[in-house]
Amino acid sequence: MREDHVLRSHPRKQRRRLGVAATAAGLLAALLTAAPAGAVPGPGDLPEKRISSSAQAEVEAAIESGEIPGVDEIVHSRNIEHISNTPKDLLPGTNSDLAFQGRYAFAGNYDGFKIFDIKNPRKPKVVAQVLCPGSQNDISVSGDLLFLSTDSSRSDDSCNSTTQPVTEKSSWEGMKIFDISDITRPEYVAAVETACGSHTHTLLPDGDDVYVYVSSYAPNAAYPDCRPPHDGISVIKVPADAPETAAVVDFPVLFPGEGELGGGNPGSPVNPGVSRTTGCHDITVLPSRNLAAGACMGDGILMDISDPAAPVVIDQVQDNANFAFWHSATFNLDADKVVFTDELGGGGMATCNEEIGPHRGANGIYDIVGKGRNAELRFVSYFKIPRHQASTENCVAHNGSLIPVKGRDIMVQSWYQGGISVWEFTDSENPEEIAYFERGPLPDGRGGGTWSTYWYNGYLYSNDMAKGFDVLKLDDRRTNPANRVHLDELNAQTQPRYLRK
């Protein structure tokens, strides 16, 4: 049934019985309380039950019968090799996003960040660990600067801060900036407070300056620095030669409208199960085309960023039938498609099963029709991993990047405990998975899994929330042409022009 940790039978058939059993037990709305949420779930996404002993028994029976991998067991398709894993060390918090520059990988963690030397991907070396708590520590790099998002209320802007109620005016949230010119000794050089903190951020280089689009949401009238309406993004300008002067230069309103709701999705109860739009979760920019795609809770948007400090929304779409929380976006190579992800349940629920189905907690593929400010987003299809997961495994579409193959649309993506999926959407109407890697359930029904997986210079790098830093090698005729592409830097939310060596 299983040999050399490779599942040989068809994935959908392999997991089918577990999905039926879990449905019968009514366990699919279970919340994994130990799972860190990648996003605050919308009103309609909150679970009703915790995992029961019967759910755990179902999973144990499925493992025993071979229907799903065993606890912490690694399984993968034939075309993927798992070449290294570096466990968490001095930073015990949840691992989050990744960025790359030269021979280094930068890994966010709720307790700070790590820097890996990946010159030899089979033996990554930790060259620096920085303790600087503040969820979720979304991370990016540009030149000698490293950027870190803080989206938790802190006592001050230092790396020695403690948690403090968001209702206190003195509390701090926002962007932190480090000098990494000495890669082994990052130096904290600037902090910029932003409204509602910084859940994620996106870099947009502009000559000698770097603009930072700060995404945040969930305002409340009781929060002194995060009151509604909060229907836009903070734009920070960072002079590369004087990062200590970084400051917010604008707050463009992306969803203009009347009252506290603005012009975004009103969410529940108007649209049951959909998050109310009170800002953006993540924005991906495509500087070579002056385009950006925003995943903004209840809305997906396309923007003109020809003026970096003043992005302009040129189209706005909703999917009130199937999308609960618009989480992130990825352009294809030709910039005529966008993949949006739906983080159903905030990343803490088991949603990769038969009852939830293939259209919720999935990717939505949109064609871009028209040019310039006349461009429009048109929905084509959904993609979700075909491998059903256990009722104890938090699983939903999460962070990924393109694998740059000319003439094809292929990306790699994390699915929390659903593992890593490589899938193709060249035919937008018929996307398909072409490779996968995953671990079996964590012990005792704990939440976790892979947060981010990105292609960088011929390898796949993954930051697993619980298990650490993974490196994989993909060997497939459809993706091998990407090995001729070389990048000097990669922040997945700042999509580069992929040039061959």
Structure tokens at 390: 């256990």
Contact 231, 219 (CB under 8 A): no
378 vs 369: CA distance, rounded Å: 7
- 241 contact partners, CB below 8 Å, separation of at least 6: 208
**What φ, ψ does residue 346 adopt, rounded to 5°?**
70, 15
Is the torsion defined by CA of 312, 365, 498, 126 positive or negative?
Answer: positive
Closest CA to 166 of 158, 174, 175: 174
* Strands laid side by side in the 136-142 sheet: 136-142, 145-154, 172-179, 187-193
Asked if 195 contacts 230 with a C-beta cutoff of 8 angstroms, the reply is yes
Which numeric CATH code is attached to 2-490? 2.130.10.10
For the whole model, what pTM was predicted?
0.91
For residue 251, CA distances in Å to 247, 297, 366, 496 come to 12, 18, 27, 25
Query: CA-CA distance, 293 to 282, in Å (whole number)?
Result: 9
β partners of residue 470: 85, 462
Average pLDDT score, the chain: 89
Low-confidence ranges of the chain (pLDDT < 70): 1-52, 501
Q: Can you give the pLDDT at residue 9?
A: 31
All structural domains of the chain with their residue ranges:
2-490
* Residue 414 confidence (pLDDT): 98
pLDDT in tens, 49-67: 355 677 778 888 888 887 8
What is the predicted pLDDT for the residue at 250?
97
Q: Are 464 and 450 in contact (CB under 8 A)?
A: yes
CA-based max dimension of the chain:
61
For 270-349, list the strands marked E by DSSP: 282-286, 291-296, 299-304, 312-317, 326-331, 337-342
Neighbours of 48 (CB within 10 A): 8
